[in-house]
Amino acid sequence: MSDVTGKKTVIRGGRVIDPANGVDAVRDIWVRGGRIVAADTANSPENEEPEIIDATGLVVAPGLIDLHVHLREPGQSAKETIETGARAAAAGGFTSVVCMPNTNPSADSPATILWIKERAKKACVNVFPTGAITKGLAGEELAPIGSMVQAGIVAITDDGHCVQNHELMRRAVEYARMFDLPVFDHCQDYSLVGDGVMHEGYWSTMLGLPGWPAAGEELIVLRNILLAELCGSPIHCQHLSCAGSVRHLRDARARGVKISGEVCPHHLALTDEAVCGFDTNFKMNPPLRAQADIDALMGGIADGTVTVLSSDHAPHMAVEKEVEFDRAPFGILGLETEFGLFHHLLVERQKAIDLPRLIELLTVNPARLLRLDRGTLSVGAPADVTLIDPGLEWTVRPGEFASRSRNTPFGGWQLKGRAVRTVVAGETVWKL
Ligand SMILES: [Zn+2]
Ligand SMILES: [Zn+2]
């Protein structure tokens, strides 16, 4: 690395937590030319002064990665754009995000993937597109996966929808294996879930709203376990919401099946009782569930069954959400409250995991799943760094969000722990 040139920066005096390298110690991080470098390399050959970022009293982590966000472009820029979604990511401490293909048109062709990548060049964080599994996310015919790989997708998923035809899903998994391409799945059995809009249980009965039973998720989690086993190839289950899913995942992983899963903050923060005011900011897919499900998700995160955390950031306009509960679109914002909620709920309140483990679930684990050379502060890695103040108490103020939308149920919540500075390729892109 002796030929490293370019702008020189030192992030000085912070508690560096780099789970990929087993580091948890006070030290300086040197950056040159957008990459992490060793201190002696950074100081030669010229002696110009580095930019100094004072990290005293802060945690210095690899840039956070969210592998599940909806940036709404192309086609729905009134909700969010790649640019505003990236700003929301930066404000949440995220340096890389993976965007879902349920746009308009769907991201199911190389042309659309290239369009997204072109727009992403102007974004202040790294934006990695996924491609659809099936054309138009219709679940009937495979999308041109090979040519989308050439265009630069990092995974395939029909998120927002779920491939119901098991034979088609098997072919997608086998085809993806040829490219070592991750397969993500939104787990929802259509025949069982029907037009359910909230968790099927006591509260759906009380409120008279159609129920979305937990078994509707578990059926597809089990399908994916069977297909991962049959194909000998990995499948990643998105936004797990219920106790059964964690149990199936734990059993399958113990058998060596290549199955993984992620959990979102809202499924840890709230139960279905929150729907009783009919506020559509409590409507998401999969829905808020029962306390026993929250406990099981926490347990799955604590024992290593769940290896990745994500937001499922899903912006919607106020006019779309200001309708009857059963007619409103599913989904809430996530990026700007994600770290605070996870830290507050998992580390501070429940003590299910410690801070280094939380950082692992938000950095190196998603990076490995996606085969990205990120999520670490190793010498030579891109200088994506997040500075965190774990003791900072703050109030969620949706009016101050960088996102174009405001649909969050967490307005006014008091949280502890927040990213205070976001660095992408050595440049500060956001600062509290
Ligand atoms: Zn989904
Ligand atoms: Zn989603």
* Tokens encoding 86: 């990236």
The pLDDT value recorded for residue 43 is 63
The pLDDT value recorded for residue 1 is 43
CA of 429 to the centre of ligand 2 (A): 25
CA of 162 to the centre of ligand 1 (A): 8
Q: Which ligand is nearest to the CA of 71?
A: 2
Omega before 144 within 30 of 0, i.e. cis: no
Q: Model confidence over 89-117: pLDDT tens digits?
A: 999 999 999 999 999 999 999 999 999 99
Catalytic residues: 312
Q: Using CA of residue 104, residue 109, residue 111, residue 113, what is the dihedral sign? A: positive
CB 43 within 8 A of CB 304: no
Task: Look at residues 431, 23, 196, 205 and name the one whose alpha carbon lies nearest to residue 36.
Answer: 23
Cα–Cα distance between 145 and 77 in angstroms, integer? 26
Q: How far is CA 310 from CA 157, 306, 339, in A?
A: 15, 11, 9
Task: Look at residues 276, 310, 308, 286 and name the one whose alpha carbon lies nearest to residue 214.
Answer: 286
Greatest distance between any 2 Cα atoms in the chain: 72
In the chain, CATH 3.20.20.140 covers 63-370
CA of 238 to the centre of ligand 2 (A): 8
Q: Model confidence over 47-82: pLDDT tens digits?
A: 678 999 999 999 999 999 999 999 999 999 999 999
Does domain 63-370 match CATH 3.90.700.10? Answer: no
The pLDDT value recorded for residue 44 is 59
* Tokens encoding 185: 């799945």
The pLDDT value recorded for residue 7 is 87
Residue 2, pLDDT > 50, answer: no
Quickly state the pLDDT bin for 39 (edges 50, 70, 90). Answer: confident
Mean pLDDT within 296-303: 98
> What residues have CB less than 8 Å from 138, skipping those under 6 apart?
161
Q: Which ligand is nearest to the CA of 238?
A: 1
Mean pLDDT within 130-153: 98
Mean pLDDT within 361-371: 98
Fold that domain 8-60+381-431 belongs to in CATH: Urease, subunit C; domain 1 (2.30.40)
Quickly state the pLDDT bin for 4 (edges 50, 70, 90). Answer: low
3-state SS assignment for residue 309:
strand
Mean pLDDT within 29-38: 95
The pLDDT value recorded for residue 45 is 58
Cα–Cα distance between 32 and 374 in angstroms, integer? 16
Phi, psi of 66, deg, nearest 5: -115, 110
Q: Is 326 exposed, middle or buried (0-12, 13-18, 19+ CB in 10 A)?
A: middle
CA of 69 to the centre of ligand 2 (A): 6
Q: Model confidence over 159-176: pLDDT tens digits?
A: 999 999 999 999 999 999
Q: How far is CA 170 from CA 223, 224, 253, in A?
A: 10, 9, 19
Quickly list DSSP for 83-120. HHHHHHHHHTTEEEEEE-S-SSS-S-SHHHHHHHHHHH
pTM: 0.97
Quickly list DSSP for 380-427. TSB--EEEEEEEEEEE--GGG-SSS----S-TT-EEEEEEEEEEETTE
Query: Average pLDDT over the chain, rounded to whole?
Result: 96
Residues in the chain: 432
Interior angle at CA 196, CA 74 and CA 135, nearest 5: 35
Quickly state the pLDDT bin for 6 (edges 50, 70, 90). Answer: confident
Q: By percentage, how much of the chain surpasses pLDDT 90?
A: 96
In the chain, CATH 2.30.40.10 covers 8-60+381-431
Q: Which residues surround ligand 1, an ion (CB under 5 A)?
A: 159, 186
Q: Model confidence over 256-295: pLDDT tens digits?
A: 999 999 999 999 999 999 999 999 999 999 999 999 999 9
Task: Look at residues 361, 389, 212 and name the one whose alpha carbon lies nearest to residue 284.
Answer: 212
Q: Which ligand is nearest to the CA of 100?
A: 2
Q: Model confidence over 246-261: pLDDT tens digits?
A: 999 999 999 999 999 9
CA of 387 to the centre of ligand 2 (A): 27
Q: Which ligand is nearest to the CA of 188?
A: 1
Enter the DSSP assignment of 70. Answer: -
Mean pLDDT within 371-381: 97
Helices 82-91 & 110-120, crossing angle to 10 degrees?
50
CA of 267 to the centre of ligand 2 (A): 13
Q: How far is CA 56 from CA 387, 408, 431, in A?
A: 10, 32, 15
Quickly list DSSP for 28-56. EEEEETTEEE-HHHHT-S--PPPEEEE-T
CA of 40 to the centre of ligand 2 (A): 44
Task: Look at residues 97, 108, 139 and name the one whose alpha carbon lies nearest to residue 367.
Answer: 97
Q: By percentage, how much of the chain surpasses pLDDT 70?
A: 97
Cα–Cα distance between 7 and 383 in angstroms, integer? 12
Mean pLDDT within 196-207: 98
Parallel, antiparallel or unpaired: strands 94-99 and 427-431: unpaired
> What residues have CB less than 8 Å from 351, skipping those under 6 apart?
none
CB 393 within 8 A of CB 415: yes
Cα–Cα distance between 28 and 42 in angstroms, integer? 12
